Amino acid sequence: MKHYSAFAVAREALRSHTGWERAWRSPEPKKRYDVIIVGAGGHGLATAYYLGKNYGIQNVAIIEKGWLGGGNTGRNTTIIRSNYLQDPSAAIYEKSRSLYEHLSQDLNYNLMFSPRGVIMLAQTHHEVRGYQRTAHANALQGVPTEWIGPQRVKELVPIINLEGPRYPVLGGLWQERGGTARHDAVAWGYARACSAMGMDIIQKCEVTGVRQENGRVTGVDTTKGAIECEKLGIVVAGHSGQLAEMAGFRLPLEAVALQALVSEPIKPCMDVVVMANTVHGYMSQSDKGEMVIGGGTDGFNNYTQRGSFHHIEETVRALVETFPMISRLKMLRQWGGIVDMTGDRSPILSKTPLGNCFINGGWGTGGFKAIPGSGWGMAQLMATGHSPLTEAFSLDRFKEGRFIDESVAAGVAH
């Protein structure tokens, strides 16, 4: 794998950029792998990467029915934070956030990580109490966050309107080390590193069946033929239920569309991320100047990747009240992603009833921020059979009543 650097860019500029190699290979599938990961999004690629880096398991195939990073990894609003209430959640999200800080160096690929800070606005007294409680929990968990008052919010976000007619800003939960990263680059960086280790990334290859014998997985049927494996990881976000059904078990999930949009680019006016759960909207400004805007999920189960006028109206109405200066902006584009939601709004990283088959899903609206930590824990679980990061997120919690309730931190916006 060629090392990316300023010197490499200068060298290639002198020879008309003829020396660049492909970032990753596109091979045909082999007959057998030690591990198959279904889903070449951020979580699947991160799982494969840490299997190779941390455990030396490199005979791995990452299978994707579409194109690499074309699902939720390329359809989100890039927010990274770890200010969750419950201890297991804070642990895996803080692991992820800390990995993001050095991930560009680890992968030798610029992910454009920007620790610009995240504010979760409190616009009701109920939210004030909830976020103050979360700030105390974060202090005990070793996650640096703080409760700030309205004037501090105004200092950080000068364009905000504190005296909204419906929901005035009463304060916020501030995580200074939260931020954003370039979503496509996260997938591309992991893919390049996986390919360099000899792993096969197989695109346009849909899984049509899961093979098993004596209660253990033996391989998968795909549109490119049957492929045998020793272990199987299912990491397919909103389509987790379909893959689980192929493997012979059911998951406590529902799939819905989560919508977002971006505005036309404008001059820099906002250098933090602001989330407003009460009014169902959150916003940041991209490096290109676009205002990246997101809202809640659709109120019905579906598998669309399109937006709808209803959500444009609801989300923009709320944000115009909170940020009056954006009222004259034109929308540039809109999209949707298929997210899989559990009842307690926490993910599933677990062994399954099928031997040597593992599931990573249920991230709902918060999957992007968890990519490195999810991959780290999932790789440990698949390689060794146990991971402290994933233990609380097993499927057993649903039948045992060990719910990880994150409705305050993740149930509405992000």
- pLDDT (tens digit per residue) in 261-285: 999 999 999 999 999 988 888 899 9
In this structure, the answer to whether residues 125 and 148 fall within a common structural domain is yes
Of 313, 341, 369, the last residue of a domain is 341
pLDDT for position 288? 92
Q: Which of 283, 314, 341 is the last residue of a domain?
A: 341
Could you tell me if 259 and 335 lie in one domain? yes
Lowest mean pLDDT among 55-64, 121-130, 317-326: 317-326
pLDDT at 182 over 90: yes
Side chain identity at residue 299, one-letter code:
G
Domain containing 400 — which CATH number?
Answer: 3.50.50.60
Domain stops at, among 314, 341, 368: 341
Q: Within a domain: residue 126?
A: yes
Q: What domain range is 373 assigned to?
A: 31-78+183-252+344-410
Same domain, 283 and 328: yes
Same domain? For 370 and 335 the reply is no
Instruction: Please list, in sequence order, all residues whose beta carbon lies within 8 angstroms of the beta carbon of residue 56, skipping any fewer than 6 positions away.
Output: none
pLDDT digits (tens, 9 = 90+) for 222-263: 999 999 999 999 999 999 999 999 999 999 999 988 889 999
Helix H, strand E, coil C: the string for 209-235 is EEEEECCEEEEEEECCEEEEEEEEEEC
pLDDT tens sequence across 111-141: 999 999 999 999 999 999 999 999 999 999 9
Whether residue 292 sits in one domain with residue 163: yes
Residue 193 and residue 233 in one domain: yes
- At 406, the pLDDT band (50, 70, 90 cuts) reads confident
Q: Return the DSSP state at 348.
A: E
Q: What is the pLDDT of residues 139-154, one digit of tens each?
A: 999 999 999 999 999 9
Same domain, 337 and 259: yes
292 and 189 within one domain:
no
Look at 409 and 136; give whichever has higher pLDDT: 136
* Tally of domains in the chain: 2
Q: pTM for this one?
A: 0.95
- Pull the structure tokens for residue 229: 């494996």
